[in-house]
Structure 1
Amino acid sequence: MTGALTDDRLAELAARMTEVPGVIGVVLGGSRARGAHTPESDTDVGLYYRAPLDVDRLGALAKAIAGPAAVVTAPGGWGPWVDGGGWLKIDGHAVDWIYRDLGRVLSVWADCERGRYAFHQQAGHPLGFPDFAYAGELALGRVLADPTGELGEVRDRMRAYPPKLAEALVAGLWEADFLVAVARKAVTRGDSAYVAGCLFRLVGVCAHALHGAAGRWLINEKGAVAAAAALPGAPERFRQRVDEVFGQVDGDPVHLTAAIDTAADLVIDTADACAMMMR
């Protein structure tokens, strides 16, 4: 594998993508956009489109760039929220093309501004895909190609975290309390799988609440606990306490009770931390 694609090469590829009918603009995302990538990191590229997207033209471009084995999906080919795209090798480097329907992104943004959100069932997302991730991806991304200027204008608006979304995510901590209660009902059965599921969702709800209170976008379950722990004002030892919770999940009712007790304390401290951050 060669090193990461250069900025000039990315800009050249993005310009070619915008020649495909339906493509509005191209955004660099992931660790590369944050400057946290390594030579081994995949490069995530968001293709923002309005239907109809010319998949045949896009597929031909993918083959021209990444070789005859390159394949792209139709919109929706990866599920209702991840949408579609292609896993490509360009110049020996892994590059993920990821579709984003700009009309849908704008609809999600309108909901964010009203304090509305949901986690949607989507393969590969055990907590659920947070619809507000669409806004966060664009806010945190780097525009590579934007012929009309529309994408950059939208991105600039999304960089300001919506106060009502923050309030809604913190209010969503009610679910963490509920999960503590229902997890306890499985202890006498030694149902470690059910308890683990409840606790995983509890931790995710807490991580999103903390990011909302801090006005920071959280767009991925992977690394969510570490990201929450790094927030100024996060509960003390947040990451370590989460590890302690899952380290106690086995079939022993005593251990399950201890795990749930630790999680319950974490929920209380998360609520207190959110209140302090939003003062």
Structure 2
Amino acid sequence: MSRPGSLSQTPNPALGPGEVPDDSAFLDRLADRLAGLPGVEAVSLGGSRAQGTNRPDSDWDLSIYYRGTFDPQDLRDVGWPGEVAEVGAWGGGVFNGGAWVHVEGRPVDIHYRDLNSVEHELAEARQGRFRTERLMFHLAGIPSYIVVGELAINQVLRGDLPQPSYPEALRENAPKVWWSLAELTFGYAADGHAAQGRLAQCAATLTVAMSYAAHAVLSARGEWTTNEKTLLSRAGLSGLDDILTDFTPANLPDACEAARALADSARSAG
């Protein structure tokens, strides 16, 4: 989960005047410090930096994997400025907490990952099973297999972690679940909001429905999703932006039909 806002920048104590940051050396120092926390068995790099799509100002997203218990106070005691949440503070599900801190002047997001939970979700995904959980900033919520996708996509920096391929059973079942959610939500946007001219609620409901549809398209392809930032564009559904551009109370029913047609087109193409 990305930080809701940036902390004020702090100077990098590892650099002298005019020196350019060394990303590799920084990451080594950061991984070593996190791996040394009590109970931590592995550390991985995620987000845009793991996939090579980062900007120079992108955050550093890391996950720490522990078995059974982890005490956030050990992370606070490192002394990095920022916020360190308790385990379970971010919903209490698979995405069970973390920290937003600055390390050597750089913004770093740290996610807690319970290995017992992760291994359970991996086994569930291999059987085609998952559930959705609410998580702040995620319109469609998150699938419980998000932590499995992290194993597949992230770069392991310390320790040993499995790197699973996309399970065929999940690829078969997940689209059915997501399309069912999408269809029901498209229907409610039209019948529950568009018919009454509720502009904001209709737009919001259509966006949620399209997010479900995007999850359906990507799971049918066997593509992992670890956040919603590029969800619609990856699924070929960013045309929703154009539909919502001329959104007015008078054309809500037509907009709902157009949004549903866009989703149906992506479904057929997939």
TM-score, reference length from structure 1: 0.82
Q: Are 1:164 and 2:169 an aligned pair? A: yes
CA displacement at 1:19 relative to structure 2: 2.0
Letter in 2 for 1:243: D
How many residues were matched structurally? 250
Q: How does 1:3-152 map to 2 (within 5 A)?
A: 6-61=23-78, 63=79, 66=80, 69-81=81-93, 82-146=95-159, 149=160, 151=161
Instruction: Supply the distance in 2 between the matched residues of 1:263 and 1:123 (Cα, whole angstroms).
Output: 25
Is the contact made by 1:248 and 1:256 (CA closer than 8 Å) also made in structure 2? no
The equivalent position to 1:246 in structure 2, one of 231, 244, 247, is 244
SS of equivalent to 1:199: helix
Where in structure 2 are there 5+ consecutive unaligned residues? 1-8, 13-19
CA displacement at 1:111 relative to structure 2: 1.5
Instruction: Supply the distance in 2 between the matched residues of 1:248 and 1:273 (Cα, whole angstroms).
Output: 26
Please give the per-residue CA displacement for 1:93-117, whole angstroms capped at 9, x wherever unaligned.
1111111111111111111111112
More helix by share: 1
Letter in 2 for 1:267: A
Instruction: Supply the distance in 2 between the matched residues of 1:70 and 1:191 (Cα, whole angstroms).
Output: 40
The equivalent position to 1:220 in structure 2, one of 227, 235, 239, is 227
TM-score, reference length from structure 2: 0.85
CA displacement at 1:41 relative to structure 2: 0.5
* Corresponding residue of 2:260: 264
The alpha-carbon distance between structure 1 residues 5 and 256, as it changes in their structure 2 partners (threshold 3 A), is farther
CA displacement at 1:181 relative to structure 2: 2.3
SS of equivalent to 1:187: helix
The alpha-carbon distance between structure 1 residues 171 and 4, as it changes in their structure 2 partners (threshold 3 A), is farther
Q: Are 1:204 and 2:217 an aligned pair? A: no
Instruction: Supply the distance in 2 between the matched residues of 1:193 and 1:118 (Cα, whole angstroms).
Output: 28
CA displacement at 1:34 relative to structure 2: 0.6
CA displacement at 1:74 relative to structure 2: 2.1
CA displacement at 1:31 relative to structure 2: 0.6
* Corresponding residue of 1:176: 182
The alpha-carbon distance between structure 1 residues 139 and 4, as it changes in their structure 2 partners (threshold 3 A), is farther
Please give the per-residue CA displacement for 1:55-96, whole angstroms capped at 9, x wherever unaligned.
3322222x1xx3xx4442221123324322221111111111
The alpha-carbon distance between structure 1 residues 4 and 271, as it changes in their structure 2 partners (threshold 3 A), is farther
What root-mean-square deviation, in Å, do the aligned CA atoms of Structure 1 and Structure 2 show? 2.0
Identity percentage over the alignment? 31
The alpha-carbon distance between structure 1 residues 183 and 72, as it changes in their structure 2 partners (threshold 3 A), is closer
- Runs of 4 or more, structure 1, over 4 Å off, are 1-5
Is the contact made by 2:195 and 2:253 (CA closer than 8 Å) also made in structure 1? no
Instruction: Supply the distance in 2 between the matched residues of 1:217 and 1:102 (Cα, whole angstroms).
Output: 19
The alpha-carbon distance between structure 1 residues 213 and 77, as it changes in their structure 2 partners (threshold 3 A), is same
Please give the per-residue CA displacement for 1:217-265, whole angstroms capped at 9, x wherever unaligned.
0121111111222xxxxxxxx42x211232243322xx10111111121
Letter in 2 for 1:269: S
